[in-house]
Amino acid sequence: MFYREAGDFKTSYRDDGQTFPIRLDRWGYYAILAVAFLVVPFVIDSYWANAVLVPFLIYAIAAIGLNILTGYAGQVSLGTGGFMAVGAYAVYKLMTSFPGVPIVVHIVLAGAITAVVGVLFGLPSLRIKGFYLAVATLAAQFFLVWLFNKVPWFYNYSASGQINAPERTILGWAVTGPATTASAKYLICLVFAVVLAWVARNLTRGSVGRKWMAIRDMDIAAEIIGVNPLTAKLSAFAVSSFFVGIAGALLFSVYLGAAEASEAFGINKSFLVLFMIIIGGLGSIFGSFAGAAFLVLLPVLLKNVLVAQFGWPTDLAAHIELMIVGALIVFFLIVEPHGLARLWALTKEKLRLWPFPH
């Protein structure tokens, strides 16, 4: 079985626009989904869930969100951490104020609230561009974290200033709180990640996605062919923040269980997610997953090799990780600005020609 599209004819424009145009890709995708849903939940243990899979899925959602804003619409944001905090505190307030409502509704609503906040902080993008905007989004980052630290209403006046996720269940299974099993944590994050990735794919291949990319590639030309920059940019901020907000809500309620704004959602979160999309690939949904996987796995790997194998101190491993991540960012920007996703695409291109490359 060769990897190619010859013989795989499209007979309608509908087929031509589908996500995986090559049949083998489609099969591979279904196989991965089947394993993820039907096999992994039964074999997962709490180490794999907490160290790798759950953070991977949550950061993938955040990375897709930032990729919509930065990779597709071309607006660089350094406020991701702040927007994740909005999602986290929104879901916390909703969970504690309306305990009878299903948690999934809360998480989606938290995303919607973050979308509104995102639009608010996206307004300056109509006047300023490029790194001016990047720096302006720092205002969102620092202001929001400060707000959640200083206004006791947000953390329900708890003495520690922390927020703690109460237990909530779906169909009798605990998905938040201390009683949650590894597979429940994993499954709820998986469902959100798969559905949101599908939504992101739909949005980016349709007319709103083309508006975003037009603004990204040449904003003046986009306006002259009829794209309203106001709605294009603000919709990118809204959708992006919706995704990021859901990631923040999941990170707090399902993964961490307890959080404090400046610790869990500091400026370093913003950079972490930005790095994920640079390494994974700007303007690629697959790249968002690849980048998230890479940056979640790297510290785990370094820890296992440097600390567990060589017996080096943990802080040294953390510093070396900083160096590696920094160097990789520079490396990817120099060699392959489209990241891992592009490398993957090139590999597939070669595979298509194999074994007759000429």
Partner 1 sequence: MEFLYASEVLANGLMAGVMYSLVALGFVLIYKASGVFNYAQGVMALFAAMTLVGIMEGRVPFAHLINAAFGVHVSSFGWTVPGLFAILLTALIMVGLAIAIEKLVLKHLVGQEPIILFMATIGLAWFLEGLGDVMWGADVKVLDVGLPQGISETVETMTDNWLGYGFFIDRLDIWAAVIAAALVAALVGFSQYTKQGRAMRAVADDHQAALSVGISLQFIWIMVWSIAGFVALVAGIMWGTKSGVQFSLSLIALKALPVLMLGGFTSIPGAIVGGLIIGMGEKLFEYFVGSMVGGATENWFAYVLALIFLVFRPQGLFGERIIERV
Partner 2 sequence: MTMQEGYTTADGRQIGGVLMDLRNITLRFGGVTAIKDISFDIREGEIRAIIGPNGAGKSSMLNVISGFYVPQEGEIWFKGYRRGPMKPYEVARLGIARTFQNIALFDGMSVLDNIMTGRLNMMKAPIWSQALWWGRAEREEVENREQVEKIIDFLEIQNIRKTPVGRLPYGLKKRVELARALAAEPRILLLDEPMAGMNVEEKEDMCRFILDVNDEFGTTIALIEHDMGVVMDLSDRVVVMDYGRKIGDGTPDEVRSNPEVISAYLGVAHE
Summarize as ranges the residues that interact with partner 1 (CB under 8 A). Answer: 76, 123-124, 127-128, 130-132, 134-136, 138-139, 141-143, 145-146, 149-151, 220-221, 224, 267, 271, 274-275, 278, 310-313, 315-316, 319-330, 333-334, 337
Beta carbon nearer to partner 1, 2 or 131: 131
The CB-of-95 to partner 1 minimum distance in angstroms stands at 24
The CB-of-200 to partner 1 minimum distance in angstroms stands at 21
Q: Which does 329 bind (CB under 5 to 8 A by kind): partner 1, partner 2, none?
A: partner 1
Q: Does 199 bind partner 2 (CB under 8 A)?
A: yes
Binder to partner 2 among 225, 322, 323, 334 (CB under 8 A)? 225
Q: Does 211 bind partner 2 (CB under 8 A)?
A: yes
Contact 126, 65 (CB under 8 A): no
Which three-class secondary structure state does DSSP give residue 174?
strand
Residue the block writes with tokens 């992006």: 240
Beta carbon nearer to partner 1, 150 or 350: 150
Closest CA to 243 of 73, 37, 128: 73
Considering only the C-alpha atoms of the chain, give the largest distance between any 2 of them, rounded to a whole number of Å: 70
Beta carbon nearer to partner 1, 34 or 335: 335
Q: How far, in Å, are 107, 141, 177, 228 from residue 149 at the CA level? A: 21, 13, 22, 37
Angle (CA) 342-4-345 rounded to 5° is 5
The CB-of-14 to partner 2 minimum distance in angstroms stands at 6
Q: Kindly indicate which of the ranges 114-122, 196-204, 244-252, 260-268 contains the residues binding partner 2, using the contact rule CB under 8 A.
A: 196-204
* Ramachandran angles phi, psi of 355, nearest 5°: -95, 20
Count of H-run helices and E-run strands, the chain: 17, 4
The pair of three-digit structure tokens given for residue 198, joined into one six-digit string: 């599908």
Strand-strand pairing, 173-174 and 163-164? unpaired
Q: How far, in Å, are 30, 274, 286 from residue 5 at the CA level? A: 18, 34, 20
Q: List residues near partner 2 by CB under 8 A.
A: 12-14, 16-17, 199, 202-203, 205-208, 210-211, 213-214, 216-218, 220-229, 235, 239, 283
